[in-house]
Structure 1
Amino acid sequence: MRFLSAAQVARLVAVPRDARPYYRALAGAVRARIQDGQIPVRVRMPAERHLAEQLRVSRTTVTSAYDLLREQGYLDSRQGSGSWTELPDPATTVDNPWLSTGDDGLLQLHCAAPAASSHLREAMLEAVDDVARYGMGNGYDPMGLAVLRERIAAHYGARGLATRPEQILVTTGSQHAIQLVMGLLVSSGDTVLVESPTYPHAIDAARQRGARIAPVGITHAGWQADLVAGAMRQSAARLAYLMPDFQNPTGALMDDATRAAVVGAARRTDTMLLIDETWAELAMEEVPGTAPMAAFDTDSRVITIGSASKLWWGGLRIGWIRSTEALTRRLALHRAAVDIASPVMEQLIVARLFDRMEETRAERRRTLRASRDALVAAVREHLPEWSFTVPRGGGTLWIRLPRGNAIAFAEAAATHGLRLAPGPWFGLEGTLESYVRLPFTQPPAVLAEAARMLAAADARGPVGPRPAETLVPMV
């Protein structure tokens, strides 16, 4: 087995002495060198004691860096055999920046989730009064409580899409909904079409099913119907996962003509459509009215999922699926192997919150718009070279960096106290390396300070030697 000496590793990583926390900067620099090929895979790393001596830091610091690299899947170690480099399995890696528990002292700028709506407490108190009559039963309802399914169905009806409660399945969040649909409809070897960039956990769900993933690029301006249709046809996609309403992370909004064209293309290619409307209620400006994708469906191939997490609060962990009655019953049977039913109390709270839909929309529009405008102004002031389009809804800016790569920049930002979600986590391996996602779901003052911290990280540049300049076309 090949090996690197402590002197060679120290020369390759070149971690600044003022990097904080140093162990994280060291781990990031090693990871960056593995990713750009300067440290090959399956090479034995120097002993922790020897590298600590070479870097003139404590052995504990190097041990912590090695532990972090092992956790992220870039090192493997065996007793008596040392540690050697490897690449993580993309289907199982825990190196997702938004999975942090928040106990590392960093400002969590990786998670696009707003704080709870001000209407939550009142709805909770009312739900406590409601729960007494439900306590007489066993609490297990795989379809979801009738009172909540009725509210959800009525909401679709108000949007012009006639829906019966029997077409609704309540889930434990939108991610659970994605897992259920893919678990039932996608088999090993099937192709799943996704946008690039896209919601990363949808990619994870497809990979767990053993699916082949076919990306179709989009921009801030949205989707090109002919490219989506061509990708469906050429990949023979079994299912396509799309976010037409303030797409995460670009913020794009699909117009009705494109919705109709995409559904028509799916009909011709016999592709099921899984439509994620998690951000659909979060318009911050007047936008052209759009119909739900299912409104263009004539042969029951559009499955829609929604969530309480962005409009009301992620801690409620309530989502839903809208489909045909037959498919909804099949999904309810399929979920029995997962969790049987969603929590009763949370369902009652969300049912009450549906009665406050308009007030919550107005509140979110006011607070998110203020936060978005503050972040936009701060980024333009402190980082004028950064390129982005201001979205009219959603909760994130999708930013193209003028130089370097996103993984290295995220590591540099961590040394300045910020946790970021770099672009590669929103696509397939080797893509979106010039992008980062910045959410504007925190208060304006926090975001203004975050922009100053980002500027400090950008001024110093990424940890370790800057990789070769790479121009990535807009996708």
Structure 2
Amino acid sequence: MHIQDALGDWSDRPGPLYARLSAALGAAIERGDIPPGTVLPPERSLARRLAIGRNTVTHAYAHLRDRGILETRQGSGSWVAGARRTGEARSPRESLPVAALRNPAALIDLATAALPAHHRLRAAVAALGAADADTAAALDAPGYHPAGLPALRAALAARLTEQGLATDADQVLVTTGDQQALSLLAAHALPDRQPAVVETPTSPGILDVLHGLSVAVRGARPVTSGSDELLALIDRVRPGLVYLVPTLGPHGRVLGADDRARLARALADRDTLVVDDVSQAGLVFDQQPPPLAACAQSDNLVTVGSLSKLHWGGLRIGWVRGSAPLVAALGRAKARADLGTPVLDQVLATRLLPVEDDVRAERVAVLRDQLSHASAALTAALPEFRWLPPDGGLSLWLRLPTGTATAFSEVSARFGVAVVPGGVLSPDGLADDHVRVVYARPPQVFDEGLRRLAAAWVRYRHATDDQPVLL
């Protein structure tokens, strides 16, 4: 577990700041979240990541040493007592803060890029209670469909064909969300832990998957700014997997038609599995672009999608579109993992696909209004921040005028608003001068979150490395 996850809402505790940190560290050690022998981060490093003064960490560590919980040796750092030192005192990849786990009653969540359930989904849920033929047929069967409910696989294939990517049902695998799709693909493409290439910034999900596989990850600039750097990196590294989001990545941009076709043809010539994540394609403001695989016929171009972004975050239905042999191999791996995605969720998804265009039109209209409101509010409240209007999606990619997003997000959380620091969306931390802020919230909720964010920025920008950010 990452140390900041283990600490949780540490600053909400009573007492001086050093005592709050000491108590949170002690509790995490007692729970076993930070096991004996674990080397803790150096004082300056932890202070920077928590946006507090170094002296605060020094006093917290000293208090734990006095209680016999920590051991320290000059030149070797501090580690949890009770076992020999394990690991190294290096900074692991930051984990994505999950606002729902951090006191949701007090926190305004501008971090989670998800929408509430659309009214058509609510109606479809209600209709599941009806004894229609499709639901009855699904309930009469044993319920094990490792590759997905046949009706849903056929419906997804038809939908992709309509979007310009000719697809048969045996080329589609239904997964439990797009995160499972990425896990299956990464395990398949990287059996010997070959390196992987992603964009910077990218999806936190793929970084979590690759981090779990202990794969070396290399980052390139987003493909919206050109593909030459990406192709040169692929040729140099020779990765087993390339993961791209040319349609509404964290930066909110969509790769144009000509550049998309040119990139697809170039990638089709490379000997690597290329994953094109189109999970947010339904939220593009203008015309929805085709997947990369529709621009160049090649078995190494794989498409991953999800119904969660458009319809509801709680609808954990994802899919993989690839060659039939690849889908069959992934299906065997999925069968070993869970025997199949829940069938009633798939019945629900099958009912939503025919109305997806209507859902998309309604979602986009609301998002345009919310973006207009958020843009005006941000310009007034945080005029020093910079961003480009997105081509769709749920978030804004804001550039800080100074400082690091990781430290600023810690201060923001203590002011009661969650945002995503860019460092967790990059394999090398190079995006830590940006924060991702979800604008897709009711205006009154966004305005209150922005008020807290602006107050946090005032406090943060006056802090120095050696001055604690006191509340």
Q: CA deviation at 1:296?
A: 2.1
More displaced, 390-399 or 186-195?
186-195
Offset at residue 351 of structure 1 (A):
0.8
8 Å contact from structure 2 (residues 96, 204) kept in 1? no
The Cα offsets for residues 436-467 of structure 1, whole Å up to 9 and x where unpaired, read as: 00012221221122111111111111696348
Q: Could you say which residue in structure 1 is the equivalent of 2:380?
A: 381
Shift in Å, 1:238:
1.8
- Partners of 1:400 and 1:331 lie apart in 2 by 39
SS in 1 for 2:447: helix
What does the per-residue CA deviation read over 1:342-396, in whole Å, with 9 as the maximum and x for residues that have no partner? 0011101111111211220112112222222222111100100101001021111
Q: Please give the alpha-carbon distance, in whole angstroms, between the structure 2 residues aligned to 1:22 and 1:30.
A: 17
Query: Could you report, residue by residue, the CA deviation over 1:3-27 in whole angstroms, capped at 9, with x for unpaired residues?
Result: xxxxxxxxxxx99x99999947998
The answer for the alignment partner of 1:140 in structure 2 is 144
> Deviation at 1:182?
0.8
- How far residue 77 of structure 1 moved from its aligned partner, in angstroms, is 2.5
Deviations 1:1-57 (A, max 9, x none): xxxxxxxxxxxxx99x99999947998997642659968x99992125979xxxxxx
- C-alpha change, 1:19 and 1:296, in structure 2 (3 Å) is farther
Paired residues, number:
425
Match of 1:273 in 2: 274
Distance 1:242 1:467 in 2: 39
% of aligned pairs identical?
30
Q: Separation in 1 of the partners of 2:466 and 2:235?
A: 37
* CA distance in structure 2 between the partners assigned to 1:408 and 1:184 by the alignment: 36
Task: Work out the CA distance in 2 between the residues paired with 1:414 and 1:44.
Answer: 20
Cα distance, 1:463–1:112 mapped onto 2, change above 3 Å: farther
> Corresponding residue for 1:233?
235
CA shift in 2, pair 1:169/1:20, >3 Å: farther
Query: Which residue matches 1:77?
Result: 80
Alignment check: 8 A CA contact 2:293 2:302 kept: yes
Residue 439 of structure 1: aligned partner? 438
Give the corresponding residue for 2:248. 246
Where does residue 200 of structure 2 map in the other structure? 196
| TM-score normalised according to structure 1 size | 0.80
User: Partner of 1:211: helix, strand, or coil?
Assistant: coil
Q: Mark the CA change 1:261 to 1:422 in structure 2 (over 3 Å): closer, same or farther.
A: same
SS in 2 for 1:281: helix
Which residue in the other structure is 1:47 paired with?
Answer: 63
In structure 2, the CA distance between the partners of 1:246 and 1:47, relative to structure 1 (3 Å rule), is same
* Change in CA separation of 1:103 and 1:44 when aligned onto 2, cut-off 3 Å: closer
- Range with bigger deviation, 372-381 or 258-267: 258-267
Q: In structure 1, what is the equivalent of residue 35 of structure 2? A: none
**Secondary structure in 2 aligned to 1:188?**
coil
The letter for the 2-side match of 1:359 is D
Which residue of structure 1 aligns with residue 459 of structure 2?
Answer: 460
- State the distance in 2 between where 1:413 and 1:18 align: 20
1:394 corresponds to: 393
User: Aligned pair 1:404/2:403, yes or no?
Assistant: yes
Aligned to 1:293: 292
Separation of aligned partners in 1, 2:232 and 2:84: 50
Amino acid at match of 1:115: P
The code of the aligned residue for 2:110 comes to L
Q: Do the aligned partners of 1:303 and 1:321 also contact (CA within 8 Å) in 2? A: yes
Q: SS of 1:398's equivalent?
A: strand
Q: Check whether the contact 1:119–1:360 (CA below 8 A) recurs between aligned residues.
A: yes
Give the conservation status (yes or no) of the 8 Å contact 1:144–1:170: yes
What aligned pairs does 1:92-171 form with structure 2 within 5 A after superposition? 95-98=95-98, 100-103=100-103, 105-129=106-130, 130-171=134-175
Distance 2:165 2:45 in 1: 49
**Do the aligned residues in 1 keep the contact of 2:284 with 2:393 (CA within 8 Å)?**
yes
- Per-residue deviation, 1:224: 0.6
**Counterpart AA for 1:120:** L
**In the alignment, which residue of structure 2 is the partner of 1:33?**
47
Note the alpha carbon deviations across 1:293-321, whole angstroms, 9 max, x for none: 11123231111011011100111111111
In structure 2, what is the Cα distance between the partners aligned to 1:463 and 1:27?
26
Give the secondary structure class of the aligned counterpart of 1:210.
coil
Which residue matches 1:333? Answer: 332
What is the letter of the counterpart of residue 291 of structure 1? P
CA distance in 1, matches of 2:301, 2:211: 21
Gaps of 5+ in 1: 1-13, 52-62, 67-73, 469-475
> Quick one: distance in 1 between partners of 2:172 and 2:227?
29
Do the aligned residues in 2 keep the contact of 1:156 with 1:163 (CA within 8 Å)?
yes
- Call closer, same or farther: CA 1:379–1:24 in 2, change over 3 Å: farther
1:307 aligned partner: 306
1:203-238 superposed Cα distances (whole Å, 9 cap, x missing partner): 12123233221111128xx23121121111111122
Kept in 2: contact 1:371–1:447 (CA 8 A): no
Contact 1:193/1:232, CA 8 A, preserved across alignment = yes
Code of the residue aligned with 1:47 in structure 2: it is H
**Residue 212 of structure 1 corresponds to which residue in structure 2?**
216
Equivalents in 1 of 2:235, 2:398: separation in Å? Answer: 31
Deviation by residue 1:137-189 (Cα, 9 ceiling, x = unmatched): 21110111111112111111111221111111100000010001111111234
Change (3 A) 1:415 1:272: same
| In 2, Cα distance between equivalents of 1:392 and 1:215 | 23
C-alpha spacing 1:152/1:81, structure 2 compared with 1 (3 Å): closer
Letter in 1 for 2:98: W
Indicate the residue corresponding to 2:39 in structure 1: none
